[in-house]
């Protein structure tokens, strides 16, 4: 894939994604010319107290970019840094959810920001080793990451005794095999250990029992890559207020939103938290072919779908999207125009979750199959009116009853699609039976009697 295809960076505040005008932004030279590695050098030379860095991150209001929005400043403070023995920092570059593609561009275009962020994380948490778990299909990003690490080792930015500080930090990449579940942090750890990628029960959390049973902190690629810029704070060293002020009350800074689907200019947009959705849509050139907006999934396929009127009122931040019925998730904005067949979309999404369930929990293993099969039946004209209630019943019985959040992620789209677009599902069932859904229901009751 070239730089001019889908993942072209369209607009940036230069925190995680480099300015598109920077030539070969992924090289050490380009990164250093733009302030790169200054933060790592300064914290190591000055031996900045780890609590000061944690406090800066807390002040910055950076929220985790992997989906749950948990603040890295707080997560980093959970690590028992004084504990004896090996500790690890692990980066989650698995990025397998439909609609997500921001971490791929960070790896391709700004890998040194991730390396620097992970090394700072290692220093703060007393971890001398880091792993970056990269999705198996990300061959080009993997090669860029490897090349950047080679440059960093040669320049003394990774390895032993960095900046004569006595701090050692080694980094390794690990290519996954393309399983979505390996993005779940404990399944990722299992996979890193060479086992089948299946989520662990929590607690214990990774900070207590992580990789190889040792204290481990896992963050998303964008979370780590944001750290150097937050510490540099545009020249006001360690002033967390700088990043915070770019965003809104409950979510600081800028975030990469990946816009895909029916827009004129799909791509990754690094914009201020709290930017109105309507502005983001405008940056992306609006709905393609002059069509009307029908619906948006604003945070990756796991978050609830929003009808056009709701999303046009919303801003791109955690509170606003929640108040309008959805979530930021991983920031993957899937745009659907007025011609979109919502039954078909949900059938496709359900197939994904059915395929990707790891099979450990019965509600998820069996329930995702039920959801897909019922949706397939409806979409292929064989649905019956009680299918819609069954769908909701199954989704409600999966939600909250599984080891990991994949079960919820399979249930939420079903609930939200039926909430907003039930008439489209009913119409397909009517088409199939030749009756209205009420007629079908009465017929079934009569048959049952
Ligand atoms: C099924 C599933 C898939 C996930 N996939 C990813 C992923 O690809 N990348 C990611 O960063 N987080 C993913 N997560 C969330 C991680 O478990 C974890 O919360 C995240 O990596 C923590 O990073 P953060 O605190 O920086 O957000 C996934 C969670 C689930 C349940
Ligand atoms: S919820 Fe699904 S994916 Fe997660 S552990 Fe259970 S079976 Fe596996």
Give the DSSP per-residue string, 207-270: TTS-GGGS-EEEEEHHHHHHHHHHHHGGGSTT-HHHHHHHSBTTB-SEEEEEEEESBSS-EEEE
Residue with tokens 């050098």: 41
Beta-carbon-side half-sphere exposure of residue 278 (alpha carbons within 13 Å): 6
Give the pLDDT of residue 5: 43
Cα 182 to ligand 2 centre (Å): 11
Give the pLDDT of residue 435: 56
Among candidate residues 222, 206, 201, the one with its CA nearest the CA of residue 328: 222
Cα 234 to ligand 1 centre (Å): 29
Between CA 62 and CA 46 the distance in angstroms is: 24
Does any ligand 1 atom lie closer than 6 A to the CB of residue 227? no
**pLDDT (tens place) for every residue of the chain, 449 residues total:** 334 344 455 566 779 999 888 999 999 999 999 999 999 999 999 999 999 999 999 999 999 999 999 999 999 999 999 899 999 999 999 999 999 999 999 999 999 999 999 999 999 999 999 999 999 999 999 999 999 999 999 999 999 999 999 999 999 999 999 899 999 999 999 999 999 999 999 999 999 999 999 999 999 999 999 999 999 999 999 999 999 999 999 999 999 999 999 999 999 999 999 999 999 999 999 999 999 999 999 999 999 999 999 999 999 999 999 999 999 999 999 999 999 999 999 999 999 999 999 999 999 999 999 999 999 999 999 999 899 999 999 999 999 999 999 999 999 999 999 999 999 999 999 755 555 544 444 444 444 33
* N residues, the chain: 449
Angle (deg, nearest 10), helices 111-125 and 139-154: 60
Are 344 and 379 contacting, i.e. CB atoms less than 8 angstroms apart?
A: yes
Does any ligand 1 atom lie closer than 6 A to the CB of residue 68? yes
Between CA 86 and CA 94 the distance in angstroms is: 24
Ligand 1 pocket mutation pick from 73, 184, 410 by most atoms within 8 angstroms of CB: 184
Between CA 135 and CA 17 the distance in angstroms is: 19
Cα 290 to ligand 2 centre (Å): 41
The protein residue whose alpha carbon is closest to atom 4 in ligand 2 is 404
Give the pLDDT of residue 431: 56
Closest ligand to residue 182's CA: 1
Between CA 172 and CA 186 the distance in angstroms is: 18
Between CA 381 and CA 430 the distance in angstroms is: 9
Cα 172 to ligand 1 centre (Å): 19
pTM above 0.85, yes or no: yes
Strands 129-134 and 170-175, bridge-based pairing: parallel
Cα 412 to ligand 2 centre (Å): 15
Closest ligand to residue 366's CA: 2
The protein residue whose alpha carbon is closest to atom 22 in ligand 1 is 219
The side-by-side arrangement of strands in the sheet containing 129-134 is 170-175, 129-134, 88-93, 216-220
Ligand 1 pocket mutation pick from 88, 136, 183, 221 by most atoms within 8 angstroms of CB: 183
Cα 219 to ligand 1 centre (Å): 8
Cα 297 to ligand 2 centre (Å): 22
- How far separated are the first and last CA of the chain, in Å rounded? 60
Between CA 446 and CA 443 the distance in angstroms is: 5
């Amino acid at each position: 894939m070239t730089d001019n295809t889908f993942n072209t960076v369209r607009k940036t505040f230069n925190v995680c994604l480099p300015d598109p005008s920077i030539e070969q932004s992924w090289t050490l030279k380009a990164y250093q010319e733009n302030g790169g590695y200054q933060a790592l050098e300064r914290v190591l030379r000055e031996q900045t107290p780890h609590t000061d860095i944690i406090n800066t991150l807390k002040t910055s209001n950076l929220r985790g970019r992997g989906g749950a929005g948990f603040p890295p400043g707080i997560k980093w403070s959970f690590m028992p840094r004084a504990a004896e023995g090996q500790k690890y920092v692990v980066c989650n570059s698995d990025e397998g959810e439909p609609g997500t593609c921001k971490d791929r561009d960070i790896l391709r275009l700004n890998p040194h920001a991730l390396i620097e962020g992970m090394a700072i994380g290692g220093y703060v948490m007393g971890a001398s080793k880091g792993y970056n778990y990269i999705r198996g299909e990300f061959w080009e990003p993997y090669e860029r990451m490897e090349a950047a690490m080679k440059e960093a080792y040669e320049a003394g930015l990774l390895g032993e005794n960095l900046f004569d500080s006595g701090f050692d930090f080694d980094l390794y990449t690990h290519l996954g095999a393309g399983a979505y579940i390996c993005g779940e942090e404990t399944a990722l750890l299992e996979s890193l250990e060479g086992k089948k990628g299946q989520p662990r029960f929590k607690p214990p959390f990774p900070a207590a029992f992580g990789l190889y049973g040792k204290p481990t902190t896992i963050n998303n690629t964008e979370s780590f890559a944001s750290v150097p810029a937050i510490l540099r704070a545009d020249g006001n060293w360690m002033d967390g207020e700088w990043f915070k002020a770019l965003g809104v009350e409950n979510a600081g800074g800028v975030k990469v939103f990946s816009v895909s689907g029916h827009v004129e200019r799909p791509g990754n947009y690094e914009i201020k938290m709290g930017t109105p959705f309507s502005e983001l849509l405008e940056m992306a050139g609006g709905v393609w072919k002059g069509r009307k907006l029908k619906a948006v999934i604003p945070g990756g396929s796991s978050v609830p779908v929003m009808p056009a009127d709701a999303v046009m009122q919303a801003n791109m931040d955690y509170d606003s999207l929640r108040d309008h019925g959805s979530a930021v998730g991983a920031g993957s904005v899937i745009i659907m125009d007025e011609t979109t067949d919502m039954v078909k979309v949900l059938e496709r999404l359900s197939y994904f979750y059915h395929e990707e369930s790891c099979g450990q929990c019965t509600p998820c293993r069996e329930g995702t199959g039920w959801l897909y099969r019922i949706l397939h039946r409806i979409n292929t004209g064989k649905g019956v009116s009680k299918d819609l209630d069954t769908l909701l019943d199954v989704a409600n019985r999966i939600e909250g009853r599984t080891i990991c959040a994949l079960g919820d992620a399979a249930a939420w789209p079903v609930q939200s699609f039926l909430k907003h677009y039930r008439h489209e599902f009913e119409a397909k069932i009517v088409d199939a039976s030749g009756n209205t859904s009420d007629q079908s229901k009465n017929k079934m009751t009569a048959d049952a009697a």
